[in-house]
Amino acid sequence: MNIIKSEFYKLKKSKLFYVCMLICAVIPAIMAIAIQLGVQTRGAEGMSAIVDDISGAAFLAETLGLALLPTVLAVFVSIFVSSEFHNGTMKNYVSKGFNRVKIYLSKLVVSGAAVLAIYAVHAAVSLALGTALWGFDPSGAAAVSGVATMLLGEGLLLLAYTSVFVLVSMWLRSNGASIAVAICAASVLPTILMTIDFILEDVISLSSFWISGNVSALASITPESGAVLQGLIVGFCYLTGGTVLGSLLFKKQDIK
């Protein structure tokens, strides 16, 4: 419990945490303003492909489907976790006899809490601005249950990403290497998988086995039941798998 309190204190004092939160709030704001300016400048006809379906709920789904959020979270978690090896905090924890599994889980819990906080701000700004500009759902296409399912499903998938990012950071113990691998997992790997899916066409969808493909599938105000079930399974598997594997690896690591 003392470790978790210490980690939350460090999170509270982390400038990086607030910078990442600000970035994830500013980007949807810029997108919303750009769309609205486009409508005012070019008119509804020039922006018909967007205007016909735009609403606060639809804009929220659009922003949640972007690779921006996982990429920013990849950078945050990588630095927040791996920096502990450079400043000596991790060595102090181990030398004082703290259980390594508890140390690992404390990092995961606090990182997960930070990720959900950033996610909440990102979603709140997207929904608030979208609703203020275009109404929550003027066409009646969305349902509260659908939006809630999307938000909860995306939250689970972001926690799954967090589990992978923490695993990578605790394993590599280097800011640069951890950031590089985490960004590849959040933005480069999805592109590669989508390219392979395009080449294979209907043979197999590799994207559906990775977190990003399910993030995209669930980014809808009316998510399909199959996409929801698959997202829950994939999210749970990566969350638990990353936690177990990361804990086992950390128990055997030589901390210097």
Confidence of residue 42 (pLDDT cuts 50, 70, 90): low
Q: CA–CA separation, 248 vs 100, rounded Å?
A: 9
**Minimum mean pLDDT range among 3-7, 54-58, 138-142, 157-161:** 138-142
Q: What are phi and psi of 37, to 5 degrees?
A: -65, -35
Please give the model's pTM, rounded to 2 decimal places: 0.92
Query: Where are the extended beta strands (E) located within 171-244?
Result: none
pLDDT at 47: 47
| Opening angle at CA 65, ends 60 and 71, nearest 5 | 115
Contact status, residue 110 vs residue 76, Cβ threshold 8 Å: no
pLDDT at 91: 83
In this predicted structure, the answer to whether residue 94 has a pLDDT above a threshold of 90 is no
Q: CA–CA separation, 47 vs 233, rounded Å?
A: 38
Contact status, residue 187 vs residue 67, Cβ threshold 8 Å: yes
Q: CA–CA separation, 170 vs 97, rounded Å?
A: 18
Q: CA–CA separation, 90 vs 170, rounded Å?
A: 10
pLDDT at 48: 47
58-81: per-residue pLDDT in tens? 999 999 998 889 999 999 999 999
pLDDT at 89: 78
Q: CA–CA separation, 154 vs 157, rounded Å?
A: 5
